[in-house]
Amino acid sequence: MSAPSYQSPKGVHDILPDDHLYFTFIKKVVRHHCRRAGFRRISTPIFEDVEVFTRSIGDSSDIVEKEMFTLESKSGKKYALKPEGTAGVVRAYLQHGMQQLPKPIEFYYIEPFFRYNRPQKGRYRQFHQFGFEAIGEQDPAIDAQIIYLSYRINQDLGIADRLTLQLNTIGSMDDRKQYREDLINFYTGKERSLCEDCRRRMHENPMRLLDCKEEDCRILASMAPKLEKVISEESKEHFRLLQEYLKELKVPYVLNPMLVRGLDYYTHTVYEFWSKAEGAQNAIGGGGRYDGLVELMGGQPTPAIGYAAGMERVVEYMKEAGIRPPNKDKVAVFVAQLGQVAKKKSLSLINELRDLGINTVGAVGKDSMKAQMGLADKLEAQYSLILGQIEVQDGTIILRNMKKGSQETVPFDGIVKKMSELLGENMLKDKKLWEE
């Protein structure tokens, strides 16, 4: 068989039904915990003015420098597909006058994002994140609650034990101004030992040099002045209290002074969840405080903190952990029919069963009984209801238990009620899946 003419573009993927079981499960876990904690869902557009991202994420970040999908309108206006969620949420917060609302204002989102990076395992050009943001509160207890929420979600996804929480403080913007100078002084004269990217970034954003993966850069980074030395007492106290609260909440963490995160808007607390597995490189999620961002985007100075996790990476970890999400797509009843009158009767039977909350499939386009029963087997239906000419005449229907291979002829009237009794509580509980 020759390959199909069209393939999805490089780095983007279809989410096929089996994987949707995972995505749906993750969404439900996130929605459950966010709602319980008073967060409300927000969606921002797939694309925004390019400045929304350049201004907030930072001109010298990888995302802005090389990973944004930009678009130009016919009039020459520049847009970008959203590479992350925080910038858009802050833009929406300001645009809709939400500064007037009681603080903190807490949002969550489950959305697709786009980054033009080199596709590799766990790194795609279109991916999905779930994330949350709490705007308007300074207290480290909020940091602890946000970290706890992300940890708690990992627990219910069944992956918390496979991850470590990496935690650091990067101080205030003022602390970092001083540190920036210290770093530039340290690297001046050592440019030849740096990789090309680091040489370029040295003056724009020297902190990025600390998390470069190149060997020579790493050696230099280990000798560079330490951020801890310039962090203000206030920021240290914030971090100390946060750790106290995390201990109280029994959230295990590892202090990682090298963790800086790749987006410029962060201040004070930063954190990521890393795999415990040897050689695993990709963080499953990350976040932190961004106390300067609202002001940078044109609002009043407003503290804030948030987190986002990559859903494709979560799915990968769940699969590695052997976690199978519940399969709500399972077919409970297959309705087979033979002859025109039976076909007509089966149409309303199928819909009555569905309305009762029973997953029901009927191959009403197929006339051969053999083909229909073959399909019922393939779909692993629990029961088949078979309606032939004789049954129509007699006012009966054949009820077949597919697992046991046993069958009986029962009255057609009352079959819907009988099926709901047979399938019991579980199936009826799901009557309207969206009510969950």
Q: In the complex, which residues of this chain contact ligand HAM (CB under 6 A)?
A: 84-86, 115, 117, 122-124, 127, 129, 131, 133, 263, 283-288, 290, 306-310, 312-313
CB of 21 to ligand HAM, least distance (A): 19
The residues facing 312 across adjacent strands are: none
DSSP 104: P
263 or 336, CB closer to ligand HAM? 263
Pairing of strands 406-411, 396-401: antiparallel
CB of 299 to ligand HAM, least distance (A): 16
Radius of gyration of the chain (CA): 28
115 or 400, CB closer to ligand HAM? 115
169 contacts 246 by C-beta, under 8 angstroms:
no
Tokens encoding 271: 């954190």
366 contacts 337 by C-beta, under 8 angstroms:
no
Q: Compute CA distances 101 → 34, 135, 136, whole Å.
A: 19, 11, 10
CB of 218 to ligand HAM, least distance (A): 20
Side by side, the strands of the sheet bearing 47-49 are 47-49, 78-81, 70-72
Tokens encoding 339: 């002859």
The residues facing 105 across adjacent strands are: 135
144 or 333, CB closer to ligand HAM? 144
Q: Please, which residues have CB within 8 angstroms of residue 35's CB and are 6 or more apart in sequence?
A: none
CB of 219 to ligand HAM, least distance (A): 25
122 contacts 13 by C-beta, under 8 angstroms:
no
CB of 262 to ligand HAM, least distance (A): 6
42 or 349, CB closer to ligand HAM? 42
Tell me the longest C-alpha to C-alpha distance in the chain: 96
The Cα–Cα gap between 159 and 90 comes to 30
DSSP 389: H
Pairing of strands 40-41, 105-114: parallel
CB of 268 to ligand HAM, least distance (A): 12
CB of 293 to ligand HAM, least distance (A): 9
Residue among 308, 305, 300, 307 nearest 290 (CA): 305
DSSP for 37-78?
Answer: TT-EE----SEEEHHHHHHHH-TTSHIIIII--EEE-TT--E
CB of 311 to ligand HAM, least distance (A): 8
13 or 354, CB closer to ligand HAM? 13
23 or 187, CB closer to ligand HAM? 23
42 or 284, CB closer to ligand HAM? 284
187 or 317, CB closer to ligand HAM? 317
284 or 332, CB closer to ligand HAM? 284
CB of 133 to ligand HAM, least distance (A): 5
286 or 325, CB closer to ligand HAM? 286
Q: Please, which residues have CB within 8 angstroms of residue 203's CB and are 6 or more apart in sequence?
A: 184
Pairing of strands 163-169, 254-255: parallel
CB of 260 to ligand HAM, least distance (A): 11
